[in-house]
Structure 1
C-alpha cells in the first residue's frame, strides 16, 4: 500500500499529555485532522502533578509553533527560576535568583499547561475513556486501534505519546523501562503561607535541593500556595511492601523516614514529616540507552514513550519539541511515511545524545556535590509519569 498524504490521513495520537496535545494543536493549526485517545475518563480524572519549567530552546519553541507562547507567559511564574542548595543542617550553600526579566525557563503547573493545550483544540478532539489495548494491521497500513472501551478504529498513523509504559511502543520496539534504583517519595503541603510558613521561607519562590550522598530531597513551589517535596532515596522498587508497610500507612512511613534522615536538621526534617496527607511513591524508571527502532511507516513515538530518562530537567521539554517537529513534518511532507522518516532522522539522534548524557543520572540526585546545571523540573521518570522534579539538575 502506498503511504497516504497527511492531508488525507487519519492521524491518531495516543495520550493526552503535553506532548500529545502539543502535536494535536500544531497539526490542527496546519489544517490536518487528528484525534487524541486517552485512558482517563475525563480531563479532571487525576492530579496532573507538580510544576515544570519550559525552556526557551525547546518547550517554548513548541508553544510558539502552537500559537500559545503569549498565553503561556500569562500563566508562567518567572520567579520560580529561583534555586537554592542546602546542606543537611539547612544552611544555604548556593542561591540563584533570576533576573527580573529572565524568561529562559519559567515555571508553570502541569495542570495549567494541560488546560492551556486542551482549550486550544477543536471540540471533540480528545476521546476520553479510550485507552489503547493493542495495535493490529499491517505495517504499511491501515492500522487498527483496539481500545479499552471495546471500540476498534482504523487509522493511517499512530503516534505514541502515552508515556513511560507506552502501549504503542511494543509495536516498534521490545524495550521496556528499567528501574534506576532511585525512588522519589512525594509529600505535599497546602496553604503554605499560613500553615507552613517556615517551610515556605526555606524553599523560597522556586526550588530547594539538599543531599548528603546517600539520600536527598527536592522541594518546589507550585502555584496556589502549594509546595511539593520529593524525598530522593536509593531503595528497592518494592520497598514499601518489602518493609511490611502499605502506601496508606503514613505514620509508619514517616517513622521510617525520620530514622533515615535522623542526622538532618529539625528544620529540614519538617519538609519530610509535616506534609498534608499521605506520601506518594514514585520510583524512577528509564529506557535502555540508546533506544532506537526500525522505521515503521505507520507508527512512531514521542516523549517518554520514545526516550524515557531520569527526571533531570528535559522530559516535557523534549516531548513538546518532538511533538512540534513531528507535526511540522506531517504538514510539510508529501506522505505520512516521508514525514515519519524525516522526524525520526532528527529525533532519534537527539534523544540518544541526551539519554547518554543523563544515563545513570538519578544517582546524581543524591550527591552533595552536584554541579550547578541549567536544567529544569520537567523530567518524567516516575512509574505513572505524573510528576516532575526540577533541580538538581534542576526538577518532574
Structure 2
C-alpha cells in the first residue's frame, strides 16, 4: 500500500495535523497502535494557549467547537502546604493569558469527528520505519504488513518509531513518576476533598513528592501523585493489587492533611479503580 501523507499516532498532534491537511485539500492517513478510540482514557485536562494550540485549532476550522468544550472555572489555581493550609490562591482567569482548560478526550473526539471515516487506521502498531530515498519511507507494522509514503510525520510520542530516522536520542527516565487516579461524584461523596481542591487546579508540593489535582467537568477530581522514586520502586505499585498499591503510595504522605491524603486513599476505596503509574521520560 502507498499513501501520499502518512502520520503515525492518533493523539492530539497527529489528528490536528491530519485535520489541517484535510481542510487544505490534502489527504492523510493516520496509523494508530490502539485498536479503537475507546481503548483507554486520554488523560486529564490541557490548557490551550493562544500562540500554538488555539492557532492550530483555528487553522483546522475547529475553534468554535473547541470553545464549546471549555471547562469554565478550570483556570482557578491554589497551592497548599502539606497541612492543607492555602499558600496561594488565584481565581479563574487571573493572569491565565487566555489559556482555557479542556479535557483531552473531548478535544480528541472533536478532531476524530472532523476527519473522513477512513482517515484513521486503528490497530496498526509500527515496528520500524526506513528511508527509501528521495523523501519516501516504508513503515513495517507488528503484523508484518508494510506501507510506503511520500511524506512521513511522526506523532507517536516519547517512544516514537519515526524519531530514529532523525536522531539517535532515546528517552531517559527523569527520576519522577506520577500515579494517576480519580474521584467521582466528589461534591456528594467527598465534600471535604472537593472544598480543598476548589474549582480548578490544586498543587501540594514537597521535596521529592507532591499531590496534584484538577477539578474536571462532571463532578470529577483527577489526581496525579508525584514521587521521585526509581523505576524498580514504582514497579511495586502494582495495578493488579490496587489496595496494596494505594497503601504503598499513601505511606509516602504520612502526617499530611487527611483531606489531601484522601485524594490517594479514596481514589481506590470508593471508586474501585486501580491506580495507573506514569513514569516521566525526556
TM-score bracket for the superposition, by shorter chain length: over 0.9
Conservation of the 8 A alpha-carbon contact between 1:221 and 1:228: yes
Are 1:81 and 2:75 an aligned pair? Answer: yes
Distance 1:271 1:137 in 2: 48
| Corresponding residue of 2:38 | 44
RMSD of equivalent CA atoms = 1.9
| Corresponding residue of 1:259 | 251
Are 1:115 and 2:109 an aligned pair? Answer: yes
Deviating more after overlay: 12-21 vs 30-39: 30-39
* TM value normalised by structure 1: 0.66
Structure number with the higher strand fraction is 2
Deviation at 1:254, TM superposition (A): 2.6
| Corresponding residue of 1:268 | 260
| Corresponding residue of 1:247 | 239
SS in 1 for 2:65: helix
Distance 2:143 2:250 in 1: 45
Task: Note the 1:344-383 alignment, pairs <5 A.
Answer: none
| Corresponding residue of 1:281 | 277
Distance 1:158 1:250 in 2: 41
CA distance 1:130–1:236, change in 2 (3 Å): same
Which residue of 143, 147, 151 maps to 2:145? Answer: 151
- For residues 122-141 of structure 1, the C-alpha deviation after alignment (integer angstroms, 9 at most, x for no partner) is 22111111121112342324
SS in 2 for 1:105: coil
Task: Note the 1:309-388 alignment, pairs <5 A.
Answer: none
Which residue of 186, 193, 201 maps to 1:199? Answer: 193
| Corresponding residue of 2:15 | 21
Distance 1:28 1:57 in 2: 22
Conservation of the 8 A alpha-carbon contact between 1:237 and 1:283: yes
Task: Note the 1:91-240 alignment, pairs <5 A.
Answer: 91-99=85-93, 104-240=98-234
**Structure 1: runs of 5+ lacking an equivalent:** 1-8, 287-396
The one of the two structures with greater contact order (alpha-carbon pairs below 8 A, sep at least 6) is: 1
Conservation of the 8 A alpha-carbon contact between 1:179 and 1:283: yes
Conservation of the 8 A alpha-carbon contact between 1:129 and 1:148: no
| Corresponding residue of 2:24 | 30
Distance 1:265 1:45 in 2: 36
Structure number with the higher helix fraction is 1
**Structure 2: runs of 5+ lacking an equivalent:** none
SS in 2 for 1:61: helix
Distance 2:195 2:107 in 1: 26
